[in-house]
Structure 1
């Protein structure tokens, strides 16, 4: 197992280099001069302009600029914003807000999605199955921002169950409503995926054999059927953790949460490339390590999987 983990970590290195290179090229190859944008409407003295371009390596070829960024990344440096702040310091406070929001949404979709999927899968063709399939289809069809405004109106303003904006009430109370909205679409996919996988495994020979041997239905469900059915669900959950962080921009704006969504939106507007690249790199790292954890969990869920 440890050899497999080391091999997967080594495989992550070229993936990280390739993705960060594409992100860096996409950000800094865009037309426009970020140093002139930093000066605003006032003309910048030529000496100051040249000094700033040299400081941020903008006077060098693009691939050389990326080399400087990659060298700093190896040493844990995500770069420096155009305002002279460390990108890591800028992300520190905002990242914690986005992480709490994403984890709240992820736990919600994990628990509720698997529960609904199992509930529907055990009653295939029944009323519960129909309700789950219809409800998840409705959630998928409605845009996230519409769900967010409806949730604010109903559960925040009308019923008063949750705060409608800000993080004044702390975690988890301030993050429950935006987390539920953020995880609602993924919950629908997880419920349907769990239900489909469970129905398929119920028809497998090993399940029929277990039932014929007289094993209790609950044990057949938990120890045999559900365990194998969760493999595709775990795959989706691992990838979705990074997607939730990347897709939190709209939710953070609607619920007025000071996360990296607002930070990256502002950075794009003012052409602050180092901040955009730094946040995107951190999201790539989350994706890579989430996929590593998923691969390890495969062996835990299914003993037939071996990493020799």
Structure 2
């Protein structure tokens, strides 16, 4: 198992380097002067402009800029905003909101998605199966911002079940509705994936053998079939946790949650390159770590994977 984990760690290093380089390049290759862009129509004194260009290495070649950023990253420095504030401080202030939102959404995906998938898989071809398939298809087809605004209107404004904006109500109350909206797309995929995997495994030879031995239906499903059926679901949920951390920009904007996604959106508008690069690098690291944990858990669930 140790060699398996070491191999996965070695695979994660080039992925992290490639993604951070791509993000840095896409942000700083944009035309125009970001310092002048921050000032708007007001002229920036040449001495101030030269000082800021030198401090943020804006006149250096792209590879030199990335090398300087990578050297700071290895020492735990995610960069400094154009206003002189460490990006790590911005992350520390915004990160708890995004983590609470992502974990709330992930909980909905895990519990509701697997429950709906098991319900549909055990009733394949019946009305329950058709209901789950139809409902998840509709959810997948509708964009998340439409789902968000409709949820705000009907569940928040008209019915008054949930707060519609901000985090004044605290966790979990303020995060239930945005968490459900954020989870809607992934929840539909978890339900369909669980349903397909369970229905396929219920036709396997080992299930027929267990039934022939006289084992109860519940034991066959819970102890034998469900464990194998959850292997692809665990893979998806692990990757999805990283995606939820990075994909909350629209949801945080709709529900006015002061998280990392909202900060990225504002920084893109202001052309705050160091902030965008630092935050997205942190999100990439979370995503890579989530994938690493999924690989390890996958190896624990299926010994054939770690011994391959």
TM-score by length of 2: 0.97
Identify the residue that residue 256 of structure 2 maps to in structure 1.
Answer: 256
Number of equivalenced pairs: 308
Residue 89 of structure 1: how far off its partner (Å): 0.4
**What is the RMSD computed on CA atoms of the aligned residues?**
1.2
Q: Is the 8 A contact 1:120 1:129 kept in 2?
A: yes
2:131 and 2:138 mapped to 1: Cα distance? 10
Check whether the contact 2:8–2:295 (CA below 8 A) recurs between aligned residues.
Answer: no
State how far apart, in whole Å, the 1-side matches of 2:298 and 2:203 are. Answer: 22
Distance in 2, matches of 1:13 and 1:303, equals 24
Equivalence for 1:44? 44
Does the 8 Å contact 1:227/1:302 carry over to 2? no
Equivalence for 1:169: 169
Q: d(CA) in 2 for partners of 1:263 and 1:241?
A: 19
Instruction: Find the counterpart in structure 2 of residue 57 from structure 1.
Output: 57
Quote how far apart the aligned CAs of 1:3 are: 2.2
CA distance in 2, matches of 1:22, 1:144: 26
In structure 2, distance between residues paired with 1:302 and 1:224: 13
TM-score w.r.t. the length of structure 1 is 0.97
| 1:238 paired to 2:238 | yes
Whether 1:148 and 2:148 are equivalent positions in the alignment is yes
Greater CA drift, 155-164 or 169-178: 155-164
Displacement of 1:231 in angstroms is 1.0
Question: 2:248–2:261: 8 Å Cα contact kept in structure 1?
Answer: yes
- Mapped to 2, the partners of 1:255 and 1:57 lie a distance apart of 36
> How far is the alpha carbon of 1:139 from its aligned partner?
1.1
State the distance in 2 between where 1:194 and 1:263 align: 35
Deviation at 1:199, TM superposition (A): 0.7
Residues 146-167 of structure 1, C-alpha deviations (whole Å, 9 max, x = no match): 2112211222122221111110
Point out where structure 2 has 5 or more consecutive residues left out of the alignment: none
Kept after mapping to 2: 8 A contact 1:109/1:186 = yes
Partner of residue 116, structure 2 = 116
1: CA distance, partners of 2:107 / 2:240: 11
Per-residue deviation, 1:180: 0.4
1:255: Cα distance to partner? 0.8
CA distance in 2: counterparts of 1:272 and 1:152, whole angstroms:
30
Counterparts of 1:187 and 1:92, CA distance in 2: 29
8 Å CA contact retained: 2:4, 2:306: no
**Structure 1 position 39, deviation (Å):** 2.7
Counterpart-to-counterpart distance in 2, 1:174 and 1:262: 16
Give 2:106's aligned residue. Answer: 106
CA distance in 2, matches of 1:211, 1:286: 43
Separation of aligned partners in 1, 2:249 and 2:264 = 9
Q: Mapping of 1:1-308 within 5 angstroms? A: 1-307=1-307
Deviation at 1:237, TM superposition (A): 0.9
- Residue aligned with 2:306, SS: coil
| Superposed displacement of residue 7, structure 1 | 2.3
CA distance in 2, matches of 1:69, 1:306: 35
Contact kept in structure 1, 2:137 and 2:188, CA below 8 Å: yes
1:78–1:278 Cα contact (<8 Å) kept: yes
In structure 2, distance between residues paired with 1:138 and 1:44: 52
- Asked whether the equivalents of residues 299 and 305 of structure 2 are also in contact (C-alpha less than 8 Å), the reply is yes
Q: Deviations over 1:228-268 (max 9, x none)?
A: 11111111111111222222111111111111122111111
